[in-house]
Amino acid sequence: MQLDDRKWKILHAIIRTYLETGEPVGSRTISKYTDLNLSSATIRNEMSDLEELGYIIQPHTSAGRIPSDKGYRLYVDTLMEDKEQEVQSMKEILIEKADKMELLLQQVAKMLAQNTNYATMVTTPQYRHRKVKFVQLSEVDEEQILLVIVLEGNIAKNKFITSTQIIEKEMILKLNILLNTFLQGLDITDINLSVIQKMKEQAGAYGSLVSDILDAVAEAINEEDALEIYTSGATNILKYPELSDTQKASELLYAFEEKKLLTDLITDKREDKENRGIQVYIGDETPIESMKDCSVVTATYEIEEGVYGKVGIIGPKRMDYERVVGTLQNMMSQLDDIFKKK
């Protein structure tokens, strides 16, 4: 059995009706759609087929049907393929209300919560690939050397290195020249065995020290910066009956309060690049246990090449996907414009 055009129209009507009402949908309700022109009996047969195909389910307390996760998934995928949504520009408001990154991101979270009536989250930007801008060795005492590593974005990392050798000031100067000659402009994937071997050869008797320095540089490149997550509208989700159960509500609010739990949404690698990095999680697809009864839509913003952050909207599975995806696409576009002008 296949999902033909008529079944798709009925499924679409069921999902749209359920999104609007939150109530199970019956054949009589669907028969009122003017573009279907089908009898209630025909619609009941088609709904039976849709249930057999796994796109809708029947709650035990009602004769109506509601979308299954599979039904939501088909709806979202179809929406993402052919959607061209026009939404109002937010750029001027954002520029006016926020001239600093933190304030801007907080404002984004607040505006999205107000415009969608769902909960929202926005992260500070992170680096995908970090390149070495320069390194600097300084003597602390006879046994310790301070290594300062400056990465792209002027991010400075300090590492202390213990040396078993006494290093003259002239040698520290030579090592600084050697390190910067080889390492400037490289990221961790570029520091290969060939580069390491050449550096150790030129360092001569200080080859083992160079090896320790390279380990420290690699560690600095791979270190994660402190991730800030700004949230807004957490209490919005309590407006939806299916999420207002005491235990569910408590777990959801805890996730927003204990923001570390939200990092699973940020580190997830599944992204649809053709849709500006927008990813839709429905029910069990959500990587956060307390959000298995929710849908989560995330998008990626990029400040410059390799510097990115995440924006997310969390709501019930019957969220208005069209509006949410359109709002996120528009927001990403406006953020791009703002960052390019800065």
Q: Give the pLDDT confidence of 225-242 residue by residue, as tens digits.
A: 667 889 999 999 888 988
What per-residue confidence (pLDDT) applies to 26? 87
What per-residue confidence (pLDDT) applies to 282? 94
Residue 255, both tokens: 């996730």
Contact in structure between 11 and 74 (CB atoms under 8 Å): yes
Q: Is the pLDDT confidence value at 224 over 90?
A: no
According to DSSP, the residues that pair with 121 across neighbouring strands are 231, 312
Q: What angle do CA 58, 61, 67 make, to 5 degrees?
A: 30
What per-residue confidence (pLDDT) applies to 83? 45
What per-residue confidence (pLDDT) applies to 59? 82
Range with the lowest mean pLDDT among 35-39, 195-199, 208-212, 246-250?
35-39
Range with the lowest mean pLDDT among 122-131, 159-168, 200-209, 305-314?
122-131
What per-residue confidence (pLDDT) applies to 153? 64
What per-residue confidence (pLDDT) applies to 290? 87
168-190 in b/e form (b: 16+ CB < 10 A) is eeebbebbeebbeebbeebbbee
What per-residue confidence (pLDDT) applies to 268? 59
Q: Per DSSP, which regions of the chain are E strands?
A: 56-57, 66-67, 119-123, 126-127, 132-139, 144-151, 155-162, 229-232, 279-282, 294-304, 307-316
Residue in this structure with the two tokens 């798709």, named with its chain if needed: 8
Domains of the chain in start order, with CATH, are 5-67 (1.10.10.10), 88-124+227-341 (3.30.450.40), 132-222 (3.30.390)
Give the mean pLDDT of 151-158: 74
What per-residue confidence (pLDDT) applies to 316? 93
Give the mean pLDDT of 138-163: 81
What per-residue confidence (pLDDT) applies to 63? 72
pLDDT tier, 154 (very low <50, low <70, confident <90, very high otherwise): low
- Number of C-beta neighbours around residue 326 at 10 A: 17
Q: Is the pLDDT confidence value at 4 over 50?
A: yes
Q: How far apart are the first and last CA of the chain?
A: 55
pLDDT tens-digit readout, 242-297: 888 888 888 888 888 877 778 777 765 555 444 447 899 999 998 888 899 999 99
pLDDT tens-digit readout, 158-189: 888 888 877 777 788 888 888 888 888 887 77
**Average pLDDT value for the chain:** 81
Contact in structure between 341 and 323 (CB atoms under 8 Å): no
pLDDT tens-digit readout, 38-87: 888 888 899 999 999 999 998 876 678 999 989 888 887 776 665 444 33
Contact in structure between 147 and 161 (CB atoms under 8 Å): yes
DSSP structure class, residue 230: E
Give the mean pLDDT of 24-45: 83
Q: What is the pTM of this model?
A: 0.61
